[in-house]
Amino acid sequence: ARATNTQSRRGAFLDSVSDRVAEAAAFVGMAVGGVASPQLVVLAAVLSLIVSYTRARAESLGVGLAGVGVGERAERLAIIAVAAIIAGAVQAPHIMDYALALVCVLAGITIVQRAVRAHRSLDA
């Protein structure tokens, strides 16, 4: 849509929803496939949803948070994808646990970064 200059609010909404569905599907796949600790999968999924929620809520209040945080969606999914490739190549499934732990840490940091930025912007 950006390439053809046909962006719309409806398209932006659908893009955001489809991103959440894809991210949830990745976590469900890990849980069902048993490739990582169920507790880590759930924690990573919950923290990832909170990262997305903090941005959406702040933006609904007029505070832009695009690019704020060390663990945005692209980084989280890249970590998971690289770990899955390595885990499959070297037959080391525990690598997914390490990757999810890293995702949890980065998501937690991002939540704090976004909350601080939003709080400061809303106080101004």
**Domain spans, the chain:** 9-123
Catalytic residue annotation: 19
Contacts of 32 (CB under 8 A, 6+ apart): none
* Domain topology for 9-123: Four Helix Bundle (Hemerythrin (Met), subunit A) (1.20.120)
Contact indicator for 42, 103 with CB cutoff of 8 Å:
no
Cβ contact 99:44 at 8 Å: no
pTM exceeds 0.75 for this model: yes
* CA diameter of the chain: 52
Cβ burial, residue 45 (10 Å; 0-12/13-18/19+): buried
Report pLDDT digits (tens) over 53-107: 999 999 999 999 999 999 999 999 999 999 999 999 998 889 999 999 999 999 9
